[in-house]
Amino acid sequence: MNDVAPATNVNTRQDFAEFLLLLRQDLIDNPAEWENKTLADFLEAASSYAEDVQGYYDNTRQAVNADQASWQTFADILRGASIYE
């Protein structure tokens, strides 16, 4: 995504709220870059990405345990859902 703040900067509830606004704006500004534009498609992709997000962390060599909930993990899942097929 172009304009969305890196999910690694999402550490607090306020960061997450701001991230959501940036995510929304990115959809408005760059709809062609989004794989899942409808809410139904986005939520389905979010569910699938939530199941697979540990693989993302492992592949990018991030020392993150996706089973330990954090604002960053939530943001990563939503960010990934925008492009997940």
Q: What is the pLDDT along the chain (85 residues), one digit of tens a residue?
A: 555 666 668 999 999 999 999 999 999 999 999 999 999 999 999 999 999 999 999 999 999 999 998 999 999 999 999 998 8
Instruction: Supply the pTM of this predicted model.
Output: 0.86
Separation CA 55–CA 49 (nearest Å): 10
In this prediction, residue 73 carries a pLDDT of 94
Could you give the maximum distance between any two Cα atoms of the chain, in Å? 33
**Cβ–Cβ under 8 Å, residues 22 and 51:** no
